[in-house]
């Protein structure tokens, strides 16, 4: 039988949340074990668009909210980490775009125009024109309005590789995970017949957390899962674009990020309402 392991913190799920937490704890001097059953970030993280949101997306009805303000400081924290002088050293992570944009095909609603010009979002949202526009929108036929958001977009594969380096020897592959108890007390987890004792256990397994909670006899917190049908478009003439396209509602009609393919071409990765309410109702071929 494999030898038992004792650690300060046992983390289950090596997506970006688990990897980030693992690196932070190790930097603070804690011993950690990070368990993953498949590839690092291979489920939800690798399919994300890499946008480091600062909250503007959640204020498109024209007012700041608790959700928008809760993550307002996130871009600053990530920029410091990418520069190598933040709470983590992510200087090996590739930056795809130093800004994310917001564009409207026509005119903006009056309340949104006033909101973007207000002191509440000064420095976070700025209108751009002419050669300041993203390359994909620098066309004479384009008549809409464009705003530059103080957000950024990172290359997710390079981020995962960077965080994996910071994980050192703390990573452990594990398929079967069961609670390890002494009496009524949870003292760790049994991972593929290996006992891992820990002072604290953190579940960061995304969709897999539901099954882990059931195995631990817990029904809270309840899991939220939302279907998505993301869209990809690839072509030799596509220009880089990192932007939300405004529709008539409080959510972006389309959210576009651009990613390099192995053959040197760009791929547009499309989310927003196109991938949510509208996309889920369609068959993949549509």
- 3-class state of residue 74 by DSSP: helix
Domain map (residue ranges) of the chain: 5-45+159-215, 61-89+96-154+227-280
Q: Cα(first)–Cα(last) distance of the chain, in Å?
A: 52
Please state the rounded mean pLDDT for residues 270-281: 85
Contact between 145 and 43 (Cβ < 8 Å)? no
Please state the rounded mean pLDDT for residues 47-52: 97
Does the pLDDT at position 57 exceed 80? Answer: no
Cα distance between residue 117 and residue 111, in whole Å: 10
Percent pLDDT > 70 in the chain is 91
Q: Which two tokens stand for residue 255?
A: 């959210």
Confidence of residue 36 (pLDDT cuts 50, 70, 90): very high
- 3-class state of residue 168 by DSSP: helix
Quote the pLDDT of residue 91.
98
- Strand-strand pairing, 231-235 and 266-271: antiparallel
Cα distance between residue 277 and residue 286, in whole Å: 14
Contact between 112 and 145 (Cβ < 8 Å)? no
Does the pLDDT at position 111 exceed 80? Answer: no
Lowest mean pLDDT among 122-131, 194-203, 225-234: 122-131
Please state the rounded mean pLDDT for residues 47-66: 83
Contact between 269 and 49 (Cβ < 8 Å)? yes
Confidence of residue 143 (pLDDT cuts 50, 70, 90): confident
Contact between 73 and 53 (Cβ < 8 Å)? no
Q: Which CATH class is domain 5-45+159-215?
A: alpha beta
Quote the pLDDT of residue 117.
58
Whole-model pTM: value is 0.91
Does the pLDDT at position 118 exceed 70? Answer: no
Helix, strand, coil percentages (3-state) for the chain, rounded to 5, are 30, 30, 40
Quote the pLDDT of residue 275.
92
Of 275, 277, 282, 273, the residue nearest 233 (C-alpha): 275
Cα distance between residue 88 and residue 159, in whole Å: 12
Confidence of residue 119 (pLDDT cuts 50, 70, 90): low
């Amino acid at each position: 039988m494999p030898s038992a392991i004792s650690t300060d913190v046992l983390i289950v799920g090596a997506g970006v949340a688990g990897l980030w937490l693992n690196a932070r704890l190790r930097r603070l001097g804690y011993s950690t074990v990070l368990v993953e059953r498949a590839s690092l970030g291979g489920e939800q993280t690798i399919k994300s668009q890499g946008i480091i949101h600062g909250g503007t997306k959640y204020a498109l009805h024209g007012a700041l909210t608790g959700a928008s303000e809760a993550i307002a400081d996130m871009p600053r924290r990530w920029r410091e980490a990418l520069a190598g002088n933040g709470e983590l050293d992510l200087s090996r992570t590739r930056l795809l775009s130093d800004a994310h944009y917001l564009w409207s095909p026509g005119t903006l609603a009056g309340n949104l125009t006033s909101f973007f010009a207000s002191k509440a979002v000064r420095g976070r949202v700025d209108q751009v024109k002419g050669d300041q526009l993203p390359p994909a929108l620098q066309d004479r036929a384009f008549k809409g309005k464009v705003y530059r958001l103080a957000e950024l977009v990172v290359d997710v594969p390079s981020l995962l590789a960077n965080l994996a380096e910071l994980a050192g020897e703390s990573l452990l592959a594990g398929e079967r995970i069961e609670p390890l108890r002494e009496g009524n007390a949870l003292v760790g987890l049994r991972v593929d017949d290996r006992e891992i004792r820990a002072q604290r256990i953190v579940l960061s397994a995304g969709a897999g957390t539901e099954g882990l909670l059931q195995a631990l006899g817990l029904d809270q917190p309840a899991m939220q899962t939302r279907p998505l049908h993301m869209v990809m478009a690839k072509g030799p003439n596509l220009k880089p674009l990192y932007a939300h396209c405004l529709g008539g509602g409080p959510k972006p009609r389309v959210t576009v990020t651009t990613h390099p393919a192995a053959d040197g071409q760009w791929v547009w990765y499309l989310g927003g309402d196109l991938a949510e309410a509208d996309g889920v109702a369609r068959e993949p071929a549509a």
